[in-house]
Amino acid sequence: MDLIRILLYFFIGCSLASLLWATLSLAPWVPAKKKDLPRIKAALALRSGETVYDLGAGNGRVAIYLAGQTSARVVGVELALPLYLICRGRWFFSRPPRPTFIFRDFFRLDLRAANAVYVFGLPEKLAGRFSRKLLSELKPSARVVSYVFPIAAWRPVRVDKETAADLPIYIYQLADQRRL
Ligand SMILES: C[S@@+](CC[C@H](N)C(=O)[O-])C[C@H]1O[C@@H](n2cnc3c(N)ncnc32)[C@H](O)[C@@H]1O
């Protein structure tokens, strides 16, 4: 009985610590709106055989949608343990094609294979270490799609926001950023 209690406390501790770490690293968990999933897909403009990373996959909503609706390889990376477990649960109950979910800090992941990146993070976090990582690792042809918040000092190719009620989606081309 004591062992079960120790394991339970350990799990709760790890869960809380990873949630805090993820919040400080990029953003707390807030899911993209379901109605915006087709707009996110259109913004990413994924082609067959391409690889897209959802950096901070949350509950897996975006990654599962993209895997089902495109022929790209979709990788969702999540650092918060409870959210990662939700991703795995949704993965189990979803129909193929499915994304790959990785339980990791995306700052420790090599992104050179990515053709596109999707992110939903706080603007002050997107501006620093995050944008430097993308600039140093992504191919010039890679696209970056940032939901709601812009990446400061980057120049978007397009901002998708058709109506005043829409949340903005910022679309960047890596090659354009290197020239700044
Ligand atoms: C605002 S939510 C976005 C969730 C999802 N991408 C979406 O659009 O619905 C940000 C997510 O990033 C995760 N996160 C924050 N920092 C991270 C890191 N360094 N590595 C992996 N995931 C991280 C958080 O746990 C959270 O689930």
Instruction: Give the domain ranges of the chain.
Output: 2-178
Please provide the average confidence, as pLDDT, over all residues in the chain: 96
Across-strand partners of 172?
Answer: 144
The alpha carbon of 64 and the centre of ligand 1 are apart by a number of angstroms equal to 15
Q: Is the beta carbon of 105 within 6 A of some atom in ligand 1?
A: yes
Q: Is the beta carbon of 24 within 6 A of some atom in ligand 1?
A: no
The alpha carbon of 57 and the centre of ligand 1 are apart by a number of angstroms equal to 5
pLDDT band (50, 70, 90) for residue 180:
low
Phi, psi of 57 (to 5 degrees): -80, -10
Question: What is the model's pLDDT at position 103?
Answer: 98
Q: Using DSSP bridges, classify how beta strands 116-119 and 143-147 pair: parallel, antiparallel or unpaired.
A: parallel
2-178 classified as CATH 3.40.50.150: yes
Judging by beta carbons within 10 Å of its beta carbon (0-12, 13-18, 19+), is residue 44 exposed, middle or buried?
A: buried
Over residues 8-29, the pLDDT tens digits come to 999 999 999 999 999 999 999 9
pLDDT band (50, 70, 90) for residue 179:
low
Judging by beta carbons within 10 Å of its beta carbon (0-12, 13-18, 19+), is residue 68 exposed, middle or buried?
A: middle
Give nearest CA residue, ligand 1 atom 6.
Answer: 57
Asked if pLDDT for residue 30 goes beyond 70, the answer is yes
Sheet-wide strand order for 100-103: 100-103, 73-78, 51-55, 116-119, 143-147, 169-173, 158-160
Asked if pLDDT for residue 1 goes beyond 80, the answer is no
Question: Rounded CA gap, 48 and 69, in Å?
Answer: 11
Give nearest CA residue, ligand 1 atom 17.
Answer: 22
